């Protein structure tokens, strides 16, 4: 394993984990955004759980690569879906938010493939 792969994977897991906790705790700024995007409140715990599982999966993937790949692909799909949700809400200035989380996950997958 390379240092870059480990560092990027831990960073990605920390960022996604933070995102999961913020949504789970229903911080004001994320609640406002979710309402603007039209995401039903009943989905929030499930979305938070998916992000938490993905973050944990990335970390487990450092020891069990197949788990890391599965978590990474799942998170990529999650954040692509988040980007589509932002676009559907026509909040074009918010597009960088899901991309900010998608980038380190994609980098982790790419670096993991190179290891």
Query: Which domain does 21 fall in, by range?
Result: 3-114
- In this predicted structure, the answer to whether residue 4 has a pLDDT above a threshold of 70 is yes
How many domains does one find in the chain? 1
Render pLDDT for 47-73 as a digit per residue (tens, 0 to 9). 999 999 999 999 999 999 999 999 999
73 vs 104: CA distance, rounded Å: 12
DSSP state of 64: S
Q: What's the pTM value of the predicted model, to 2 decimals?
A: 0.91
- Are 54 and 74 within 8 A, CB to CB? yes
């Amino acid at each position: 394993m390379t240092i870059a792969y480990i560092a990027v994977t831990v960073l990605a897991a920390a960022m996604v984990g933070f995102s999961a906790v913020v949504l789970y705790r229903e911080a004001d700024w994320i609640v406002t955004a979710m309402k603007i995007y039209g995401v039903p409140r009943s989905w929030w715990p499930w979305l938070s759980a998916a992000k938490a599982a993905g973050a944990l999966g990335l970390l487990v993937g450092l020891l069990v690569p197949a788990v890391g790949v599965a978590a990474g692909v799942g998170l990529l799909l999650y954040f692509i879906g988040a980007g589509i949700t932002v676009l559907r809400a026509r909040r074009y200035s918010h597009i960088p938010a899901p991309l900010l989380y998608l980038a380190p996950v994609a980098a982790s997958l790419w670096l993991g493939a190179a290891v």
